[in-house]
Structure 1
Amino acid sequence: MKITRITVDVVSEPKEHPVRDAIQLLDRNGRTRVIVETDEGVSGVSDSHFGRVVSSPAVLAKIVTDQLAPVIIGEDPTLIRGIRKTLRELTDYQGTAGLSSYGISAIDLALWDLLGKSLGVPVWRLLGAQRTTIPAYAMVGWLELDVAGLEAVSAKAMEQGFRGVKMKVGGGPLTEDVSRIRAVRAVIGADAPLMVDANQAFGFSEALRRGRVYEELDCRWFEEPLPAGDTDGHVRLAEKLDIPIATGENRYGQEAFRDLLAGGGVGVVQPDLRRAGGLTDCLEIGLMAAGFGVPYASHGGGAHIHVLAALPNTIYVESGLLPADGRVELVDGCYPLPLEPGLSSWH
């Protein structure tokens, strides 16, 4: 089997309900869909989603079609790690981190989808899964919501059967964070996990100050307290706080996780499929984290559930609210794994 063609579809449109975190407004629905075709009629598909810049999906499409695709036409699509090596060497001079990583990840995911379809099995079966359901929490506490809206959406998440919720912090003074956290806690109950996410908004001193308060409020983890690349800061912060530090969604490639894990700067590792390098790198990051005894919780859901099914250190998949059409139901607070061949998911 050989790769014969790679095509890309692009969507970029305003989001009906923009959402806000501590550093940005996410006001667009952008998507770059990559389709890898073969001489045996089997194809694989992946979707990369964007929340901000209008042109990003089209720029990524250009990178895929003009730079990445030409060098792997004619290659065996089952040699996924070999193709990854080729594409990283190709993009090294211009810098692989950034949209080049998005492109490599998109191709990686499409290749795994293709492999699963060619064998007639879901990808999680190819990875040696150890579970058939994934514990789920709902990321619903965006900063554009007032307290009443925050309470309502948190209650909805618990009604849908999620095990807990995550909310954004850092958009205002600490007193505002405290009142919002207490409002959500009153809705979800004393025992449900409640996570907080600052989206890289703080410097070290402010992260330490707020982290101590989040500890007192019994938050389960403190996500992205510092700029993503500040490994030393994460290590120092973790030494001073009892609340686990969760981070990883804005790190590129598994090498970016090595020193963070070895130094003890992360208590919950959270790679992103698009930035980390696709399914292949996320699986390898998860296994590396397992070697350090660090739990793994995905950034986002979708195809990530195939990785989560296989890792020994999985604790959660991140989700929004369940679709209103009822096509997905949680079982004991968990997402069931898809049975269709390839990388199909509930997302």
Structure 2
Amino acid sequence: MKITAVHVDVTSEPKAHPVRDAIQLLDRDGVTRVRIETDEGVTGESTTYFGRVASSPAVLAKIVEEQLAPVIVGEDPSLIRGIRERLRELTDYQGSAGLSAYGMSAIDQALWDLLGKSLGVPVWKLLGARWPAIPAYAMVGWLELDVAGLERMSARAMEQGFRGVKMKVGGGPLTEDVRRIKAVRTVIGPDAPLMVDANQAFGYAEALRRGRAYEDLDCRWFEEPLPAGDTDGHVRLAEKLDIPIATGENRYGQAAFRDLLARGGVGVVQPDLRRAGGVTDCLEIGLAAAGFGVPYASHGGGAHIHVLAALPNTIYVESGLLPEGAELVDGCYPLPTAPGLSASW
């Protein structure tokens, strides 16, 4: 089987309900879709989401169509790691992070989807699943919500059967964070996991000050307290705090996690499929983390469920509220049954 063509299309529209974290307003629904075709009629697809900047999906489409696609046409689509290395070599001069990484990830996911469809099985079966279902929490605590809205969304998440919830912090003074965290804790009860996410908003001193407060409030983890690339800061912070530091969604490629893991700067590793390099790199990051005894929780859900199913150190899949008709099973996201890289909903 050989790759014969790569097709890309995009959409970019204003988000009906913009959401806010500590550093940005996410006001777009932008998507780049990649479809890889073969001479045997089997196709693989991926979707890459953008929450900001109207032109980003089209820029990514140009990179895929004009730089990456010509290199993979004619290749055996099952040689996924070989294709990855060729694309890394190709993009090295311009930089293999940023939108180059997004493009390589889009191709990687489409290739795994194609491989699963060619064999008639979901990708988690190809990766060697460890778990039959994945515990799920709901990311519902955006900063544009007032306290009443925050309570309402958190209550809805618990009604839908989620194990716990995550909320944004750092949009105002610490006193505001404390007030909002206490409100959510009252709604979800004393035992449900409650995670907080600062989206890289703090410097070291403020992250340490707030981290101590979040510890006292029994938060399960403190996510992205510092700029993503500050490995030294993450190591120092982890040494001072008992609350686990969760990070990784804004690191590009497997190599970017090496020192962070080896030096103990992360307590919950959280790669993002788009930035880390797709299924292939996320799986390898997860296995490396397992070697250091570090648990793995996805940034986002969807296709990531296949990676989570295969890792021995998986603890959670991240989700928004469930769509109409979807259900969790004992607080867990069921594994998809369709061939390829589909999600359950």
Q: TM-score range by the shorter chain?
A: over 0.9
> Residue 340 of structure 1 corresponds to which residue in structure 2?
338
1:195-250 per-residue CA deviation (whole Å, 9 max, x = no partner) reads 00000000000000000000000000000000000000000000000000000000
> Residue 46 of structure 2 corresponds to which residue in structure 1?
46
Distance 2:48 2:269 in 1: 21
1:151-185 per-residue CA deviation (whole Å, 9 max, x = no partner) reads 00000000000000000000000000000000000
> Residue 128 of structure 2 corresponds to which residue in structure 1?
128
Distance 2:218 2:85 in 1: 43
Percent identity for Structure 1 against Structure 2? 85
Distance 2:211 2:255 in 1: 27
SS at 2:10 equivalent: strand
Q: One-letter code of the match for 2:225?
A: P
> Residue 35 of structure 2 corresponds to which residue in structure 1?
35
Say what the alpha-carbon RMSD is for the aligned residues.
0.4
SS at 1:53 equivalent: coil
> Residue 257 of structure 1 corresponds to which residue in structure 2?
257
SS at 2:220 equivalent: coil
Q: One-letter code of the match for 1:301?
A: G
Q: One-letter code of the match for 1:90?
A: L
In the superposition, the TM-score normalised over structure 1's length comes to 0.99
Matches within 5 A, 1:87-102: 87-102=87-102
> Residue 272 of structure 1 corresponds to which residue in structure 2?
272
Distance 1:130 1:218 in 2: 29
1:68-115 per-residue CA deviation (whole Å, 9 max, x = no partner) reads 000110000000000000000000000000000000000000000000
Distance 1:140 1:71 in 2: 41
Q: One-letter code of the match for 2:289?
A: A
1:123-149 per-residue CA deviation (whole Å, 9 max, x = no partner) reads 000000011100000000000000000
Distance 2:94 2:60 in 1: 14
SS at 1:315 equivalent: strand
> Residue 199 of structure 1 corresponds to which residue in structure 2?
199
Q: How far has the Cα of 1:2 moved from its partner?
A: 0.2
Q: One-letter code of the match for 1:221?
A: W
> Residue 329 of structure 1 corresponds to which residue in structure 2?
327
Distance 1:344 1:273 in 2: 14
Q: How far has the Cα of 1:346 moved from its partner?
A: 3.0
Q: One-letter code of the match for 1:343?
A: L
Contact 2:337 2:344 in 1 (8 A): no
SS at 1:274 equivalent: helix
SS at 1:45 equivalent: strand
Matches within 5 A, 1:1-347: 1-323=1-323, 325-326=324-325, 328-347=326-345
Distance 1:72 1:201 in 2: 39
Distance 1:136 1:65 in 2: 35
SS at 1:261 equivalent: helix
SS at 2:155 equivalent: helix
Distance 1:127 1:167 in 2: 32
In the superposition, the TM-score normalised over structure 2's length comes to 1.00
Give runs of ≥4 in structure 1 deviating > 6 Å.
none
Distance 1:194 1:65 in 2: 42
Distance 2:256 2:139 in 1: 25
Q: How far has the Cα of 1:341 moved from its partner?
A: 0.2
1:251-309 per-residue CA deviation (whole Å, 9 max, x = no partner) reads 00010000000000000000000000000000000000000000000000000000000
Distance 1:73 1:103 in 2: 15
Distance 1:137 1:192 in 2: 10
SS at 1:4 equivalent: strand
Q: One-letter code of the match for 2:252?
A: Y
Distance 2:264 2:141 in 1: 28
- Structure 1 unaligned runs (5+)? none
